[in-house]
Amino acid sequence: MEFFKISCFNIPSPLLMFPVQEENKVCLFSLTNKREYELKVDLEKIQNWRFVGSSHGWLVILNEKADPILLNIFSGICHQLPGKETFPHIDSMREVENEVFEIHYKSWNYSVTHSSETLRQLSVVKAVLSSDPSCDANCTVIVMYFVLGTSKLAFCRQGDSRWTGFGGEIQSYYDVVCKDNMLYALGGGPSIEVWDFHESSPTRKIVIQAPCPQELKESHQIYPSDLYSSQWYLVFSSCEMFLVVRYIGEFVRYDGEVIYEGDTLTNYFIFPYRTIKFHVYKLDFVQKTWLPVESLDDCALFVGGNHSVSLSVKEHPGCKANSIYFTDDYWDRMNEHDSYGGHDMGIFKLGDGRIEQLFDYDLQKFELPPFWIVPN
């Protein structure tokens, strides 16, 4: 895929990929040197793609027909992954007209028809890699895919023609991260399943179940579900495992106040969703408890549609310590309105709770939602 690559390889990471819509181009913004680097790509060619993963410097993409692709934007190397019709919950699929598909799901006794656009929204929730494909021929691609309101797991390796489903007792998965060929899958509770990917088939090693933190139990009182939604992320630092909880106001006024959808003002003005707060907990592996985190010390966390990561600001100058860098991954609402979507990004300062802009931008609607890329 030579039309999608960058000419300069020595770009300091981490990087934010974002569209410059008025100039019909896609850029990478380096947090280290605060410079923009233009990608060799026509925005119009990829605006119907959906980016569902960024891991080890590679992107996982659903193309215009909602088929998954693995792409390295620095080299232009592209790998076609098993097609959308091979996901475990699909019995058969056929294209009945251009980019319109008739699908028969295994759990249903009838067929449904979806456009490619709908399939891009309803298929893969998130994708991560077990390792860097440039260095590891046994690299595994793991996806969370959507089935009847829940997120399930599947994987493929080089040469596979189908996605292979796997999973444990967790009914719906919230996030997945890989470390040393081990997959950590986050579910409600919170609970974590640990899967070993060293062999040909994944083996579940342990299930980590720790009591829900009291603060998280009582969060519905501060962040009621009719005003807020939440996202959970699992993040590894060098020696800690963090549970990151993001609270998003469904309708947020310009002064930051979260209001109800039925508020009179919503009849006259548009109030996009917006991230309001983050809470962070770390796992005490000995006591099997989640402890509130007041400081990340010299770490910065990066969350969104990407493989969640923690970076040391000493090793990545330009990043701010004790901060959470976030991009928009509210897929359920991102395309509901022409005036916003992809906009919910920033830097959350854990110390004082302030949110800063990532860079100077006025747009509220990004046709291609910004995405973190953290090369090895």
pLDDT digits (tens, 9 = 90+) for 226-259: 999 999 999 998 889 999 999 999 999 988 899 9
Q: Is the predicted pLDDT of residue 143 greater than 80, yes or no?
A: yes
Please state the separation of Cα 77 from the chain's center in Å. 22
Alpha-carbon span 300 to 356, nearest angstrom: 14
What are 208's strand-pairing partners?
Answer: 192
Where are the strands (E) in 148-181, listed by range? 150-157, 164-166, 173-179
Neighbours of 167 (CB within 10 A): 19
Distance between CA 139 and CA 75 in Å, rounded? 18
pLDDT band at 121, cuts 50/70/90? Answer: confident
Rounded (to 5) percent helix, strand, coil in the chain: 10, 45, 45
pTM of this prediction exceeds 0.85: yes
User: Residues 6 or more apart from 59 whose CB is under 8 A from it?
Assistant: 51, 53, 70, 71, 72, 73, 371, 373
Gap between the Cα atoms of 311 and 148, Å rounded: 35
Specify whether the CB–CB gap between 258 and 252 falls below 8 A.
yes
> Where would I find the beta strands (DSSP E) of 257-349?
274-284, 289-292, 299-303, 309-312, 323-326, 346-349
Residue tagged 């923690």 (tokens)? 310
> Is residue 5 very low, low, confident or very high in pLDDT (cuts 50, 70, 90)?
low
Predicted confidence at residue 173, as pLDDT, reads 97
Confidence at residue 110, expressed as pLDDT on a 0 to 100 scale: 77
pLDDT at 8 over 90: no
Helices (H), ranges, the chain: 43-46, 116-122, 214-217, 219-222
pLDDT at 6: 58
The model's confidence at residue 222, banded by pLDDT at 50, 70 and 90, is: very high
Strands 323-326 and 299-303: parallel
Write down the pLDDT at residue 4.
Answer: 57
263: pLDDT strictly greater than 80: no
In the predicted model, what is the mean pLDDT of residues 81-89? 94
**Ramachandran class of 97: left when φ > 0, alpha when ψ lies in -120 to 50, beta otherwise:** beta
| pLDDT tens profile 265-319 | 766 688 999 999 999 999 998 899 999 999 999 999 999 999 999 999 999 988 9
Residue 138 pLDDT level (bands cut at 50, 70, 90): confident
- Position 171 pLDDT exceeds 90: yes
Q: What is the mean pLDDT of residues 46-65?
A: 91
In this predicted model, which residue has the larger pLDDT, 368 or 349? 349
In angstroms, what CA-CA distances link 359 with 18, 51, 302? 11, 21, 15
What is the rounded CA–CA span in Å between residue 243 and residue 61? 26
- Which residue, among 197, 199, 202, 200, has the nearest Cα to 179 in the 3D structure? 197
* Residue 9 vs residue 241, higher pLDDT: 241
- Cα 297 to chain center, whole Å? 24
More confident residue, 166 or 107: 166
Q: How much is the mean pLDDT over the chain?
A: 90
Residue written as token pair 């470390």:
179
According to the model, what pLDDT value does residue 264 have? Answer: 64
